[in-house]
A and B are shown apart, each in its own frame.
Chain A
């Protein structure tokens, strides 16, 4: 009889990399459903192509490089789906296709694969697509259908005007429901919030980054005389915060670092929005903080148990 020999721990936590990524996919389901509701087959086509391209490029790369095939960790699928959800409905499908290949091959695999990339692959791809094909990437459609959950009558016209200091209630409702123009997955804030709640409850993500980032966006906007709630609910802030800024690989390891990351990203979002050339700054805000992450990891120190007393 051969008994297994190893050090402890002899039994491990149930949560593993595939289950974490699967939870992210589940958390994205409401956003996927909303995109299908608003944009129908167009959205379906975009999401299928972006996800398939990401998974396929991961497989081909690992095959060609004779590396272990790690498709079963679902991380490529998450990246692909995120890229798709970040597209406007009008985009030609070859744009997300290129984005997915770029994200997986250039941003992720060239730097060593899962765990080694220093930029969030989906965001880096989005940034590249935004600079390469700005016209395709910014032509967002106001959906033909509206979502009301029977709670109230929606008024799509109401939100075409510039953001006022205190938004009318109807505007907030439309922002929440997604009856606005934007990328297919990020407009319905209720769907994104459901994802956030799921990720928090399942213990996939911690509260530090989302709370600090959204809090900072709200506070900074309020200081600049904008409506904080509208600031948080408009554009891609919520989606970016929940699904990109919480990416493990490209965010700090220490809680303090995560808080700084969230605050930094929040400040950058508001600065880019209000003083930059781009109407929306979430992509670049998070990418810049991704770059800052190794510095935060290196410079922030933990107080080790028993450390100070030894010297003192």
Chain B
């Protein structure tokens, strides 16, 4: 019996969550002529500081920007070649991001790498510095610095590391393919994380619609100390941190607290594979698997260099099948971010690029709430989304807080299911930003 949580949705049932487009496509590498690498791919720390300038020749894996502060992570050149530009470029966010553009010389000339060797026998104290030096941040989408996540404060008792291979987002198969093709790396990464955080129990959690991945990972995990493979029911948002902790351990993360307060650390399987590379070979995070799908000629799972321009990746998949794309999403259709242009970059957190047609991208007009209670049924945090939406529309932020608006995980299940096409999650997100801004001002 697969484990799960209460609530959630089965998005896009007619399309089988958009997965069949790429779930049996093996990962293929693609390298572009230029890469534009953002320096703010991680959260929780300022953008990294450039240490190269225009005209410099850089080697693959060379640090091009240093992390700032204890949480910061460095950024590495993902190709060998010449630095073309150091400056601000429009990326996914509202404001431009500092970026370093490198022209690829297609030599793939690496800097010298020095790893720790075996994850089971290396010095556990050396693991976190290796992870930080490799520039690893959460590759599931959030981009939280991994070394920082694994440094458990002395007052917290963490006993479980969970690797998240649920991949409940629509259209994406990057994690699915990774688990099928590189299961050993995933397991090694988990062991490294467990040893670094001094934890005995590790889970690799996979939705039960990926039986082949469960089999591959189970085989790789056989005989490894403290590693368990768990099947989760295929349901969105099964891969959300709080929901995966609940499903596996039965624990709930206290409101306003972190997973560590429930004794858990949750990491994406892609991050774990990057950790394995970093620890074993000392290899920095310079490439990742990204599913490029939707209205493209050959939907694919590409192994892309960090900094690959979306348009290049789409070109590698045969280009658009529509005359003019309506929307290009970084991520899946539930929580992905709509790109402002085709020229934004693949970052450490880009699990997918989904192209929608003009018709699919045209949003429907909101109509009045008919109190169908579907949002209440699906909310994985057991909130009352319809009520929060009304309070947000009335700008009653106090009442919204009393109704647990800050507990919302912004999974957009409520907006997805709403027959009145209401932008419930958007309103909640905006109101929360206002609340956070007010709290910062100390109002």
Which of A16-24, A33-41, A280-288 lies at the binding interface?
Answer: A16-24
On whether the beta carbons of B384 and A302 are closer than 8 Å, the reply is yes
Whether A248 touches B415, Cβ cut-off 8 Å, given contacts A305-B242, A306-B253, is no
CB of B297 within 8 A of chain A? no
Closest chain A residue, CB of each to CB of B324: A1
Residue B326 at the A interface, CB < 8 A?
yes
User: Of B69-77, B181-189, B282-290, B375-383, which binds chain A?
Assistant: B375-383
Given contacts A115-B368, A253-B386, contact A5 B254 (CB under 8 A): no
A66 on interface, CB distance cutoff 8 Å: no
Task: State whether the Cβ of B367 lies closer than 8 Å to any Cβ in chain A.
Answer: yes
Do residues A17 and B412 form an inter-chain contact, with CB atoms below 8 A? Answer: no
- Asked if B367 and A73 sit within 8 Å, CB to CB, the answer is yes
- Asked if B370 and A310 make an inter-chain contact with CB atoms under 8 angstroms apart, the answer reads no
A-B contact count (CB 8 A): 163
Q: Is B19 an interface residue (CB 8 A)?
A: no
The complex places the Cα of A254 from the Cα of B242 at a distance, in Å, of 22
Classify chain B's interface size.
Answer: 35 or more
- Contact residue among A6, A13, A254 (Cβ-Cβ distance under 8 Å from B363): A6
Q: Is there contact, CB below 8 Å, between A4 and B252?
A: no
Contact of A114 with B381 in the complex, beta carbons under 8 Å: no
B341 to chain A: closest residue by CB = A3
Q: Any chain A CB within 8 A of the CB of B216?
A: no
Contact, CB under 8 Å: A115 / B419: no
B381 contacts A5, C-beta separation under 8 Å: no
For A, the interface residue count at a CB cutoff of 8 angstroms equals: 42
B 373-417 binary contact with A (CB < 8 Å = 1; else 0)? 100110011111010000000000000000010010000100111
Nearest chain B CB to A297's CB is how many angstroms away? 9
A249 cross-chain contacts in B, Cβ below 8 A: 370-371
**Residue A253 contacts which of B363, B371, B417, B419 (CB distance < 8 angstroms)?**
B371
- Inter-chain contact B360/A304, CB cutoff 8 Å: no
Within the assembled complex, what's the spacing in Å between the Cα atoms of A19 and B370? 13
Q: Given A248-B371, A305-B382, answer yes or no on A253-B376 (Cβ-Cβ < 8 Å).
A: yes
B255 sits at the interface (CB 8 A): yes
What chain B residues lie within 8 Å of A75 (beta carbons)? 370
| CB–CB A12/B421 < 8 A | yes
The 9 closest A-B pairs by CB, nearest first: A115-B368, A4-B361, A10-B333, A9-B416, A306-B255, A253-B373, A248-B372, A9-B412, A310-B254
Q: Can you list 5 pairs linking A and B with CB atoms under 8 Å apart?
A: A7-B426, A10-B360, A12-B364, A253-B376, A254-B376
Q: Which residues of A contact B (CB under 8 A)?
A: 1, 3-17, 19-20, 70, 73, 75, 112-116, 248-249, 251-255, 258, 302-307, 309-310
